[in-house]
Amino acid sequence: MKNYHVAMDSDAKAFHKKVQDFIDNGYIPQGGLGLILQNGEAYHYQALFKPPTKKTRKRKVVEYESNFQNIWITYPKRAGSNPKLVAYAAYKKCLISDPPTVMFAGVVRYRQFCESTGKINTEYVMQAATFFGPEKHYLNDWEIPADNQMPQDNTKLVAWAIERFGDRANPTSGPPGETMAQYRARLRGML
């Protein structure tokens, strides 16, 4: 407990006003406990008011370039995190060596690759920050392997899967209530 010495006259009202002045001016911590000496006698006090509210920093609003916004909309969605601000920083570094049209074309190729291999909305979609990182994945061809092309049409998918994997790819051989998305995920595991 801290001791605060307040020179006061004997009037109690004036004493409490002086203590409140000390609190208001920051000499006595808000909400704190202490000991005040008045005319040689010790008085315990507790400052009974709200502690100051912390000032919160306002976040700076980032204005993304329109080219990046188009790329972000086109980029395949993934399960898990994909921080836009970090991707934007990587994109801006790539602008030093490559124009936005080259990066956009790479995103389109990668999206087609992810769609044909069934990776959309999975954790296997690369984070955009990595895609635009120092390895410049947007420059890759992203060719779709002929044997891994999973049809997008559900009726064609079942025929393709049974032809490729036999009875274990039959939709009825999966768990009861399996959705088409779960069926596609099970087939991806067989590839």
Residues 37 and 129 placed together within one structural domain of the fold:
no
Range of the domain at 31: 2-46
Confirm whether 15 is domain-assigned: yes
Using one digit for the tens of pLDDT, what is the confidence trace for 27-44? 555 555 555 555 555 555
Given a contact cutoff of 8 angstroms between Cβ atoms, the answer to whether 144 and 117 are in contact is yes
Query: Of 144, 154, 150, 151, nearest to 110 (Cα)?
Result: 144
Tokens at 83, concatenated: 């921080």
Residues 79 and 129 placed together within one structural domain of the fold:
yes
Using one digit for the tens of pLDDT, what is the confidence trace for 121-180? 999 999 999 999 999 999 999 988 766 667 777 778 888 788 877 777 777 777 778 888
Q: What angle do CA 19, 24, 25 make, to 5 degrees?
A: 100
